[in-house]
């Protein structure tokens, strides 16, 4: 017999563990990281070209562009820029132009609301009514948007117009009136809160804004009134009539609007008499029993 060992069919072992090389690490982490960083840089570059480099004049031109795509893109960029660009938010000329556009848009919405389309209408009349109502909703959306923008200004140039919006009904359509007045109260609350944003500006910037407001306020017309009121608010002389407007709004039949009014009052201070009005109104609202009827707003509205 042979003394040769009997062969075994054992499975092969695992391959030896080899530490990763620098090239492998670069392929797994560094190269993908560079690709992602490059993509982010490109996106930021396009974002800067599209929005970051806009001037106040460019924003105003874009908002009235005949191309709806340009208008909505401008509106989106402006909504973001106003919240982070202190120079734009305190620009007196730009703020005045925005408030002027808001006042014009309000005049359009104040016209008699068109008849809503219904299944009872004949097809040709229903199509016409649907188009009229669609156009009306676009005008309403413009008021909502502009009111929100004016509320994001740090120079309260829109205080008077926003105050007028909440004092009385704005539209013959109940839901449109509720939507716009609620938006205006929210914008007034933001405007009061942005008083602190103005205080955080550099002293040079604050003095420049006040000087421009005084210059505009020395003239005649609506814009001059807005500038004078804005300067008085920023100098803590009074609330520019805002507290009185909120107190009037707090008497609305809509309980939701009354709740918003209580919130808005917490952001405003004025003369001793105005502060007393605010305190009295807040005290009354704490005892509010929820009377009245809240206007229900749905996605279709």
What is the per-residue pLDDT across 28-61, written as a single tens digit (0 to 9) for each? Answer: 665 666 676 666 556 555 444 444 457 889 998 9
Higher pLDDT, residue 190 or 295: 190
- At 54 the pLDDT is 77
pLDDT above 90 (res 210): yes
pLDDT in tens, 225-272: 999 999 999 999 999 999 999 999 999 999 999 999 999 999 999 999
Higher pLDDT, residue 7 or 291: 291
Count the alpha carbons within 13 Å of 86 in the hemisphere toward its beta carbon.
12
- At 180 the pLDDT is 95
| 63, 64, 70, 243 from 67: Cα distances, Å | 10, 9, 5, 39
- Share above pLDDT 90 across residues of the chain, in percent, rounded to a whole number: 60
- At 161 the pLDDT is 96
- At 123 the pLDDT is 72
Higher pLDDT, residue 237 or 3: 237
Q: Point out the least confidently predicted range of 3-17, 39-53, 67-81, 88-102.
A: 39-53
Q: What pTM was computed for the model?
A: 0.79
Mean pLDDT value across the chain:
86
CA distance 219 to 65: 30
Higher pLDDT, residue 64 or 187: 187
């Amino acid at each position: 017999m042979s003394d040769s060992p009997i062969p075994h069919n054992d499975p092969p072992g695992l391959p030896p563990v080899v530490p990763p090389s620098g090239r492998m690490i670069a392929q797994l982490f560094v190269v993908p990281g560079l690709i992602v960083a490059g993509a982010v840089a490109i996106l930021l570059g396009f974002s800067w070209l599209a929005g970051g480099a806009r001037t106040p004049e460019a924003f105003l031109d874009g908002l009235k562009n005949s191309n709806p795509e340009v208008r909505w893109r401008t509106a989106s960029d402006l909504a973001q820029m106003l919240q982070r660009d202190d120079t734009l938010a305190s620009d007196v000329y730009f703020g005045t132009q925005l408030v002027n556009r808001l006042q014009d848009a309000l005049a359009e919405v104040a016209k008699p609301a068109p008849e809503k389309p219904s299944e009872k209408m004949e097809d040709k009349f229903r199509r016409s009514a649907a188009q009229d109502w669609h156009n009306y909703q676009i005008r309403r959306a413009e008021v909502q948007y502009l009111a929100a923008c004016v509320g994001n200004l740090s120079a309260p140039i829109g205080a008077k117009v926003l105050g007028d919006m909440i004092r009385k009904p704005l539209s013959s359509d109940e839901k449109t009136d509720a939507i716009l007045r609620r938006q205006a109260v929210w914008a007034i609350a933001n405007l009061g809160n942005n008083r602190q944003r103005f205080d955080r500006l550099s002293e040079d910037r604050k003095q420049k804004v006040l000087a421009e407001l005084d210059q505009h306020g020395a003239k005649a017309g609506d814009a001059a009134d807005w500038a004078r009121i804005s300067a008085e608010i920023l100098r803590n002389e009074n609330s520019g009539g805002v507290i009185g407007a909120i107190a009037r709004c707090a008497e609305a039949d809509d309980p939701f609007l009354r709740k918003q009014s209580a919130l808005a009052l917490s952001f405003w201070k004025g003369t001793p008499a105005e502060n007393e009005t605010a305190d009295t109104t807040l005290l009354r609202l704490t005892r509010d029993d929820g009377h009245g009827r809240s206007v229900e707003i749905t996605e279709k509205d």
